[in-house]
Amino acid sequence: MTRSVTILGSTGSVGQATIDLIASAGRDRFEIVALTANSNAQALAAQALELRPRFVALAREDGYEALSHALAGSGIEIGVGAGAVCEAASMEADWTMAAIVGAAGLPPTLDAVRRGRTVAFANKEALVCAGDLFMAEAARAGTCLLPVDSEHNAIFQAMAGSRREHVRRIVLTASGGPFRTASREAMRAATPAGALAHPTWSMGAKISIDSATMMNKGLEIIEACHLFDLPHERVDVLVHPESIVHGLVEYADGGLIAQLGCPDMRTPIAHALAWPERLDTDVERLDLARLGRLHFEAPDPQRFPALDLARQAIAAGGGAPAVLNAANEIAVSAFLDCKIGFLDIADRVSEALDWWVHGPFSDERIDSFEDVLRIDREARRATRERIAVRAAG
Ligand code: NAD
Ligand code: MG
C-alpha cells in the first residue's frame, strides 16, 4: 500500500535521511505530498524534482524567485513564508516527519498533529516548549506520535507490549559529545568548529552544539517526560561514548530492556516510517564481537550544567521549559557567530531561567500555544539583550 508522506524540514539532516530511506525503499511505496525548508531554495527544488511532491514551501519569502525559477514547468505548487509551511503541514497525508529545528517548528508541527494520522516527531524543541499542549492535541485528534529521536525511539521500542505501571525508570544514553573528557579550561576556549565535531553522530549544527554542552540530553529529558508521561526523576542519563545502546527501560522486577544499533539516524527514522511494519535498510550492521566492549559512565554535572538546568526547568513547569529552550537557541546561535564563548551558553540559559522562575512572570499560566509563542519571543528578546549588554561592557 502506498503511504502519503509530508516532510517538514526536508533539507535538514533528519529530512534528508528520511528522503534517502524513501528513495531506497522504492518510490511505489511512498507518495510525497509536501516538502518544506527554511531558506535553501536550490536544495528544496532539487528534492522536489526528484520526489515530485504536490506542494513545496520555503519559510523565507526572499527565496521565491529562485524556487519558482528552478521549478518552472514542473507543475509543482510553490508557497513561501511561515504560513506556507503551515499550509504544507495541514495537507492530507498519512505520515508527517516533523524535522524542523527549533521552536520555529512549533506552528507547522502543531498543524500536522491537529490534522491527525501519524506524526514522526524529531523536532524536540517543540515538545520542550509545549509538551503538555502537544500531547493533549494529539490525544484529541487521535494522532499517533512516533518518537524519532534515537533515545526516545529506543525507549518506545523497549516499552512495546509492557504496562506503564511496571516501568520503574527509563535511561537515555548520551555520547558525551566532543568534550566528554575535556577540562573546563579547554571547554572555555572551544571554537565552533571544535564543538561541531561530534564523535559518533552526524547532525545539524544546532543539535551538534547542544550535544557538546549536553543541553541536547537536557532537552531530551523534558521530551521523554512528555512522550512517556514520566516525572523527570524517573528519566536518567547515562554517558555511553560508543552510542550503540540508545535507550533502556527498567522494569519493576529489576530487568532492563535496551535497544541497540549503530549510530545512524536512518534506523529510528526507518522504524517510524514503516511502523508497525519494518523497513529493510542498508545501514551498517552491529558487530558486537568486533566491538568487544561498551563503556558507560555517569555524566559530570560540573562540566555539563545544562543537564541540571533542564531538570530545573521541567520541575518549575509552566513557561520555564520554553524559556530554557529560547535562551539556548539564542545562545547557541551567538556561539556559532563567535559572539560568546562555549561556557557562556549554559550561563545565559541559567540567567534566563532565573529571570523567569524568580521574576514577576513565574505564575503565568500556559494555557495555549499563543502563550508559549509569547514566552518564547520574550525570552529570546531578553537573552539577546543580555548578550549585547555583555558584549558592550
Ligand atoms: P538541520 O539544521 O539539519 O535541519 C533543519 C531543517 O529545518 C532544515 O530543513 C531547515 O530548512 C528547516 N528550518 C530551519 N529553520 C526553519 C524555519 N524558521 N522555518 C521552517 N523551516 C526551518 O537540523 P537536524 O539536525 O535535521 O534536526 C532537526 C530536528 O531533529 C531538531 O529538532 C533536532 O533536535 C532533531 N534531531 C536531529 C537528529 C539528527 O541526527 N540530526 C537526531 C535527533 C533529533
Ligand atoms: Mg537524541
Q: What is the pLDDT of residues 116-154, one digit of tens each?
A: 999 999 999 999 999 999 999 999 999 999 999 999 999
- 121, β-bridge pairs: 98, 147
- 222-260 pLDDT, tens digit per residue, is 999 999 999 999 999 999 999 999 999 999 999 999 999
* pLDDT higher than threshold 80 for residue 27: no
Cell of 306: 545544562
**Does 34 sit in the ligand 1 pocket, CB within 6 Å?**
no
What's the CA gap between 120 and 96, in Å, rounded?
A: 6
13 lines ligand 1 (CB under 6 A): yes
Q: Which residues pair with 145 in a beta bridge?
A: 119
d(CA 57, CA 38) in angstroms, rounded, equals 8
β-pairing verdict for 256-260 and 3-8: unpaired
Residue in 101, 265, 328 to alter for ligand 1 test, most ligand atoms within 8 A of Cβ: 101
pLDDT tens readout for residues 39-97: 999 999 999 999 999 999 999 999 999 999 999 999 999 999 999 999 999 999 999 99
Q: Which of 281, 264, 259 is nearest to 156 (CA)?
A: 259
Q: Is 149 in the pocket of ligand 1 (CB under 6 A)?
A: yes
Query: Which triple of cell numbers denotes residue 360?
Result: 514577576
Q: Average pLDDT, whole number, for the chain?
A: 97
pLDDT at 36 over 90: yes
Mean pLDDT, rounded, for 27-38: 94
Residues in contact with 91: Cβ distance below 8 Å, sequence separation at least 6, in sequence order: 6, 33, 34, 54, 55
CA of 223 from ligand 2 middle (Å) equals 10
Q: pTM to 2 decimals?
A: 0.98
Q: How far from 40 is each of 56, 60, 114, 243, CA to CA, in Å? A: 12, 9, 27, 31
Nearest-ligand number for the alpha carbon of 152: 2
The residue whose CA is least distant from atom 39 of ligand 1 is 203
11 is in an annotated binding site: yes
C-beta neighbour count of 342 within 10 angstroms: 22
Q: How far apart are CA 320 and CA 376, in angstroms?
A: 10
Pocket lining: 57 vs ligand 1, CB cutoff 6 Å: no
ipTM for the complex shown:
0.99
Give strand pairing partners of 146: 120
Q: Which domains does the chain have, with CATH numbers?
A: 3-147 (3.40.50.720), 153-392 (1.10.1740.10)
Is the torsion defined by CA of 37, 371, 110, 21 positive or negative? positive
Q: What's the CA gap between 32 and 6, in Å, rounded?
A: 6
Those residues with Cβ within 8 angstroms of residue 75's Cβ, 6 or more apart along the chain or in another chain:
none
Indicate if ligand 1 lies below 6 Å from the C-beta of 124.
yes
Query: Phi then psi for 185, rounded to 5 degrees?
Result: -65, -45
Atom of ligand 1 nearest to the CA of 82: 19
Any ligand 1 atom below 6 A from CB of 80: no
68 is an annotated ligand-binding site residue: no
Compute, in angstroms, the gap from residue 377 CA to the centroid of ligand 2. Answer: 25
| Residue 179 CA, ligand 2 centroid: distance in Å | 17
